[in-house]
Amino acid sequence: MMTTRTQTLSIPAEERGAVERVRDVFKAGRDRTTRPQILVPGFDLSADLPKGFVDAVEKVAREFAAGRTVTITSVDADLTTQQAANMLGISRPFAATLMDRGDLPSYKVGNRRKVTQVAVEAYRKKRDQKRRRLLQDMTDEAIELGQY
């Protein structure tokens, strides 16, 4: 079961000039070796923009500048047990155990287990936070005992 969401976007003709400038800025940023940043004046906020994001914005801006409407479709990918195991760096049987225990939410299609990529990422984040917390607890205990 793959979940998709679609949204159609357009801009008024009078904003095409501004979009052309945005397109040119992102195109120039795509060709540079340094990563482009976005700055929010007055809020002292900035962020590096990943290459995939820069490429996507440049493509959307190109379509808008040409006067076209853009449709964006997002997809939540469904993964097999093996794909989930690969993402988590664990064995397929252990991934199946996590699914059976309910630690990794999944569903069945026929006799095959499926899990969403979002669920795998959420499990990984929770697992990694727990690992860091336990490691910090062990370090704190070792310091208290004078062993660190």
- CATH code of the region 78-144: 1.10.1660
Assign residue 110 a region (left: φ > 0; alpha: ψ between -120 and 50; beta: otherwise): left
Q: What is the pLDDT of residue 29?
A: 62
Q: pTM surpassing 0.95?
A: no
* The pLDDT of residue 39: 81
**Each residue's pLDDT tens digit, 12-61:** 989 988 988 888 887 776 666 667 777 888 887 888 888 888 888 888 98
Residues of the chain with CATH 1.10.1660: 78-144
The helix/strand/coil state of 113 is strand
